[in-house]
Amino acid sequence: MKWLSDVSLTPHHTFGLPAHAHAIAEAHTVVDLYAIWQHPDFLALPKLVVGEGSNLLFCQDFQGVVVLNRLTGVSVDDHADHTILHVGAGESWHDLVAWSIDNDLPGLENLALIPGCVGAAPIQNIGAYGVEFCERCAYVDILNPVTQEMRRLTRDDCQFGYRDSIFKTSALQGWVITQVGFRLTKAWQPILKYGALAELESEHATPRAIFDAVCAIRQAKLPDPRVCGNAGSFFKNPVIEARQANALQTRYPEMPMYPAGEGKAKLAAGWLIEQCGLKGAKQGGARVHSKQALVLTNADHATSQDVVRLAKRVVNEVQARFGVTLHHEVRFMGAQGETSLEAQ
């Protein structure tokens, strides 16, 4: 365990916005987690577990302890028709994907270059290019640092939805993700149904080729947070009634639309934002990315309020034009815990 002397949160989230915590600690083991929660100076303070901070917007200084999850380790259990990966929650997500390709363990390649740590994947049920985390999840191990109880949740226990899970609810408040299990089938098949991957020929679509293609696509469209602060896709792709989606597509024949089951359809939030002429739009130091309208950036020493005001403008203009409400994928953090755009 390591307590940091500098309590600035700027280097600990990819937006790179100015914010501070009451205290910041690194946890490298389960014992570290126990010690942090039992520290007499911080017993009454809220705790926030952070990996790489790749999906966070600190709206205010956090009046509690930020715990940097640095639990690492990868082990492999081989079975006749599948492989189970046991991965520490503090491992880099992209490094894990790259390692799996290098070790001939395909199944995660469509999720390459998503920023963040492995422990964040089940919280958001991350997804890209036709694959969601839940499809590869075997289990999620969690710990209550106060009671020292440990539990293993099955995939069904996690109640995964579109960019959603039980970890976003109050049901598991105070629990920490310590390890994630992946089930990778040996009967691998390429998934090429989404976006630019559809241009790959299936007979030539090796896991390495898909991995390389996804990396190239993301690098061409998305800003590197080390160069321009951002939290990736800021908004979820809206899921609406198919009737409303069909009416919109009649007015806008070029509008991307995907089936979402049960009489629903999914729209591309980035396309909706772009049609509102918001690419490159600015609010203070915050800016809608010029190549991908789904991404809001810290273009020039932005504050959290710059980002909030820009996000509200995007939501309002999309609602006014299309009658569709956008919801943020990025998690908003207030002084005591999670909040929302609507509350700002």
Q: Which residues are catalytic?
A: 163, 233, 329
Burial bucket for residue 188 (CB in 10 Å: 0-12, 13-18, 19+): middle
Residue 341: φ, ψ to 5°? -60, -40
User: Six-digit token pair at 298?
Assistant: 């810290």
If you count them, how many residues does the chain have?
Answer: 344
Contact assessment for residue 261 and residue 236, using Cβ atoms and an 8 Å cutoff: no
Strand partners, 286: 283, 298
Our CA angle for 219, 222, 228, nearest 5°, is 105
Alpha helix (H) residue ranges in the chain? 30-38, 93-102, 120-124, 207-221, 242-251, 269-275, 304-322
Phi-psi sector, 195: left (phi>0), alpha (psi -120 to 50), beta: left
Contact assessment for residue 236 and residue 163, using Cβ atoms and an 8 Å cutoff: yes
Question: For tokens 């956090």, what's the residue?
Answer: 62
Instruction: Give the C-alpha separation, 182 to 113, whole Å.
Output: 18
Burial bucket for residue 92 (CB in 10 Å: 0-12, 13-18, 19+): middle
User: Six-digit token pair at 46?
Assistant: 């809220």
Instruction: Give the C-alpha separation, 238 to 325, whole Å.
Output: 7
Question: For tokens 């509008």, what's the residue?
Answer: 255
CA distances from 69 to 47, 117, 274, 289, 344 (A): 12, 9, 36, 29, 28
- The single-letter DSSP state of residue 160 is -
